[in-house]
Structure 1
Amino acid sequence: MARRVGLTGGIASGKSTVSARLAALGATIIDYDRLAREVVEPGSPALDLIAQRFGAGVITPEGTLDRPALGALVFADPAALKDLEAITHPAIRDLAAEREQQAGPDGIVVHDNPLLVEMGAAAACDVVIVVDAPEELQLARMVGDRGMSEADARARIAAQASRDQRNAAADVLIENTGTREQLSARVDEVWKDLVEPGAR
């Protein structure tokens, strides 16, 4: 049976870089950001439920989800975010299970999920890897690299599990405060532990 690895981290922690390196090393990646887009494609049951709950203002004239409009609603309102998650999380879980079955019985399947802890999915993984960075570094990356306002960046961080909650779920903690090369070397070490017999 494939080893199920959970990979998570706060926004702008470097999780995507870690995921890309694991893919290059041979892991099968199930990208939950991609699944989250797939489950709300036009005609999907989830998109219909989102329109019912949040109104026509979150649907573009072309019939697709208006992500900025929806984001503005849910990141300012914890109750609205919970309602959205109640619609999308079950659909995402079903699609992830389907993708894992397609991956076959051997190898390492990485569930690349920024909301692994929030979705209660850590317990279903053989190993949980958390990519960690201090909040000030996350903010600097979001404002500097992504052009977000500091207020928006703080709201996104606040909407996720706290750093302590995420780190408490970790079997393996990857601290990403150095260079990209240092991060890559650390991922290679983790990969070696995953593929060696008897590794946790």
Structure 2
Amino acid sequence: MSEPGRDQSRVVLGLTGSIGMGKSATAGLFAKHGIPVYDADAAVHRLYAAGGAVAQAIGKTFPGSLKPDGAVDRDQLRQIILDQPDALRRLEALVHPLVRNENRAFLEQHANASLVVLDVPLLFETGADKRCDAVLVVSAPSEVQRARVLARPGMTQAAFDTIIAKQMPDAEKRFRADIVIDTSLGFAHAEAEIVALIARLTDSG
């Protein structure tokens, strides 16, 4: 999946999965075992913060989407996106180029690492998988996913259904993945799978 001519001394592993599948916990396991992890969600949080690189542009594009301190009001922005069919496309046009820049800086920072992980929720949807040597998808049965998400504070069935409708189906992600980890089998199982994967990808096992 990697781009032609890219340095093959380092393995770039894409990590993705639908909401409630355990992606963040899985990313944490890679970090626990010393693997550099790029967190696209954290990058977006920085961009949305007061004084962030994209906050003011979002405020101008979507009036009413900023808090008094100038940070993006994520709840208000989410509602605007739900109400306006083309809003998500316009938001992505503002945010995705900056996220890609942060991604590029991360890869340059860890140029000497044997393995790095790109934790990107919309990995396939944004084409970020093309910058990866392999893709790991975390998955779980739909009933487990639903229970996890609805247990989150403020989450409703309607909001969950809306989010799912906008994401690539889990079955398609699993089909396109090089590696799949079922997080419903427990934390210990997932960690064992990740330790074995790290050893394989870094030739340390």
**TM-score normalized by the length of structure 1:** 0.90
Q: 1:109 aligns with which of 98, 112, 116?
A: 116
Offset at 1:189? Answer: 2.2
Offset at 1:146? Answer: 4.0
Is 1:51 aligned with 2:79?
A: no
What one-letter code is carried by the residue in structure 2 that aligns with 1:190? L
String of CA shifts for 1:125-164, please: whole Å, max 9, x gaps: 0111000123332111011244511111111222222213
- 1:151 is matched with which residue? 158
Please give the secondary structure, in 1, of the residue aligned with 2:185: coil
8 Å CA contact 2:18–2:121 kept in 1: the answer is yes
- Please identify runs of 4+ aligned residues in structure 1 that moved more than 6 A: none
Is 1:35 aligned with 2:36?
A: no
Residues of 2 paired with 1:189 and 1:76: CA distance? Answer: 45
8 Å CA contact 1:116–1:122 kept in 2: the answer is yes
- 2:16 is matched with which residue? 8
Please give the secondary structure, in 2, of the residue aligned with 1:58: coil
**TM-score normalized by the length of structure 2:** 0.88
| Aligned pairs, number | 197
Distance 1:104 1:124, change over 3 A: closer
5+ residue gaps, structure 1, are none
Q: Which moved more, 1:43-52 or 1:171-180?
A: 43-52
Q: Structure 1 vs Structure 2: percent identity of aligned residues?
A: 31
8 Å CA contact 1:5–1:129 kept in 2: the answer is yes
Residues of 2 paired with 1:63 and 1:189: CA distance? Answer: 45
Structure-to-structure mapping, 1:29-108, within 5 angstroms: 29-55=37-63, 57-108=64-115
> CA RMSD for the aligned pairs?
1.9
8 Å CA contact 1:75–1:156 kept in 2: the answer is no
Residues of 1 paired with 2:50 and 2:152: CA distance? Answer: 31
5+ residue gaps, structure 2, are 1-8
Residues of 2 paired with 1:162 and 1:52: CA distance? Answer: 33
Please give the secondary structure, in 2, of the residue aligned with 1:42: coil
What one-letter code is carried by the residue in structure 1 that aligns with 2:146? L
